[in-house]
A and B are shown apart, each in its own frame.
Chain A
Amino acid sequence: MDKLLEMRGIVKRFGRVEALRGVDFHVNRAEVVGLVGDNGAGKSTLVKTIVGVYHPDEGEIYWEGKPTIFRDPGEARAAGIEIVYQHLALIDLLSISRNIFLGREPVKRIGPIAFLDRRAMDEQSWEIIKSIGLRRLRSPSERVAKLSGGERQSVAIGRAMHFKAKLLILDEPTAALSVRETRKVLDHVLEVKNQGVSVIIISHNIYHVYEVSDRIVVLDHGRKILDVRKEEVTPEDVIEVIRKGEPLQKAGS
């Protein structure tokens, strides 16, 4: 199968702590991978290693078949990886539209000077706000400080989806959301998958992950202990694996 991202034998140490201990991990094209595990299992470290926040101490990373280690998140973003962090990476003091386009602002050139294309920013932001279905429609020029937790999450996800990534990484996307907002997010995951985008979704809620994933990967103390197609397991099996911290023992085997 055509692998979009492949990681082999990834080791990441912080001082004497081994956060990742030889992890093999891959994502196929247009595949949704659920990445689960208990606190401290290494899920966030793994995705931060993908986007270049951390650099692996050992192991190889292949992006679209080529050995690639991104130096920083900007490079990963330019290559087509969008990440929505648990902390959302939104700036309270800035408006919604300035947040959405921060670091890749649309410009209009007048002579040698590149001006912000504020109309394009506001119009596209408005489209994003409508498409993510904020409960109350918000003006793109409202500051993010004014939004509720769920609305912020929606803006962060809307931003990531707007830029047509090849790989979308969602770190705990439903943690702060209402039932209705959670539904929206999960629908969005399936929607981008249908557009051919690959997704890595990290969550504590196994049922949310299970619902949208094609494949489920469980990490435990920096090791991969499960990597199966969804059809092969039930959500309860996954929870059992996470709880025990050891691979699945099928009844009778």
Chain B
Amino acid sequence: MATQTASSRKSLLLLISQHPELGVIASFSIIALAFLVISPDKFPTSSTLYSILTLAGELGVTSIGVAFLMITGEFNLSVGSVYALVPMFVVLMVDAGMDMLLASVIMLSVAFGIGVLTGYITVRTGIPSFITSLGMMMFLRGILLAITGGFPVRLEGSHWLTDVLNGAVGVEGLRTSAAWLLALTLIFLIILDYTPYGNWTYAVGASPATARELGVKVWRVKLVNFGISSLLAGLAGLMALSRFKIVDPTLGQGLELEAITSAVLGGCLLTGGYGSIFGTFLGALLVALTRVGLVLAGAPAYWYSAFIGVILIIATIINTYVVRKFVTSG
């Protein structure tokens, strides 16, 4: 009997240490419950769910890439700029007569290249990626403002690709971005936890020197993951374009920090080597849930940021405690 309790306690500890997303599941449930109590008739409806999914779509797709790179031990602050750059150039190309699919493929390749370049500068010089990607963020944003003169550009005509990327499904507000978010979450969750490449990603994030000694190509993993973070940000930007049909040169400002928020809520450590894609997905949902819930509760929109700030700090305190207690201590 005693040994049974001991072993079930031990497996509980193992469960906690293996699931960085437990914290976000708990906070998500608590906050959802709170909104349920505050607005019992408006909150639990399918249109509320669809609003949350729509808000979470673009943020979530960006956050997955940011989280994947964060687990690799690096930051990419330029995702917000790439999020605007890709749709901006796609609009300019399409309005000049190019096919939208072709323009998108070209610009997504450019986005991947921008990420790899940021990564290359980072690993080559040894400068922290916080700085290199900050520089890239400002550089790209400057280009956007310069070529548009600060004015938004509009996507003319209709294009089947916008329906695929973020079209309405039915009349209640569900959009295809939800499917993209779910699919990409699943794909990157599988890559991270069920392929050798994911194992290398964890290892590079936790200890690049040791990973190198054991034959992992550290540079390649970092460059590819920088590229992925940028690529997903570009894709999310195209999803935003598909929803609004217009791109403002300031689109996505601050998105890099919201993406980091989702990743950290989801259990990713800023120091790398630890985190969860599913947790990040829930982190993005939690951010969206908070925004929608506050509106339904009748709170002024300004409160949203304050609320997220508090949630972020509390969740991080809990996550840090869990990591110290169950993961890194002997």
Contact = CB atoms under 8 A, between A and B. Distances in A.
Contacts, number: 87
B48 to A, nearest CB: 37
B214 A102 contact: yes
Interface residues of A, number: 34
B196 A114 contact: yes
Given A98-B202, A145-B330, A105 B274 contact: no
B41 interface: no
A134 interface: no
Given A116-B195, A116-B196, A93 B213 contact: no
Contacts of B206: 91-94
Contacts of B8: none
A146 interface: yes
Contact of B195 (A90, A93, A113, A143): A113
B46 interface: no
B215 A91 contact: no
Contact of B194 (A92, A101, A118): A118
A105 B198 CA distance: 11
B329 interface: yes
A92 B327 CA distance: 9
B288 interface: no
Give the interface SS of chain B, mostly helix, strand, loop or mixed: helix
Interface in B173-221: 190, 194-196, 198-200, 202-203, 206-207, 210-216
A23 to B, nearest CB: 23
B202 A93 contact: yes
B327 A93 contact: yes
B213 A85 contact: yes
A147 B206 CA distance: 17
Given A85-B213, A92-B328, A93-B273, A141 B194 contact: no
B328 A93 contact: yes
A136 B291 CA distance: 49
Interface string B212-234: 11111000000000000000000
Contacts of B215: 72-74, 77-78, 103-104
B274 A93 contact: yes
A233 interface: no
A102 B330 contact: no
Contact of B210 (A78, A91, A115, A143): A91
Contacts of A74: 214-215
B18 interface: yes
A116 B202 CA distance: 14
Contacts of A143: 17, 327-328
Contacts of B198: 116
A194 interface: no
A146 B199 CA distance: 19
A91 B200 CA distance: 11
Contacts of B213: 53, 73, 85, 89
A98 B195 contact: no
Nearest to A159: B214
A103 B208 CA distance: 12
A142 interface: yes
Nearest to A118: B194
6 contacts: A73-B215, A74-B214, A93-B328, A102-B200, A103-B215, A107-B196
Given A93-B207, A94-B203, 11 more contacts: A89-B214, A91-B203, A91-B211, A98-B202, A115-B195, A116-B199, A118-B194, A139-B14, A143-B327, A145-B327, A146-B329
Interface of A: 53, 72-74, 77-78, 85, 89-95, 98, 101-105, 107, 113-116, 118, 139, 141-143, 145-148
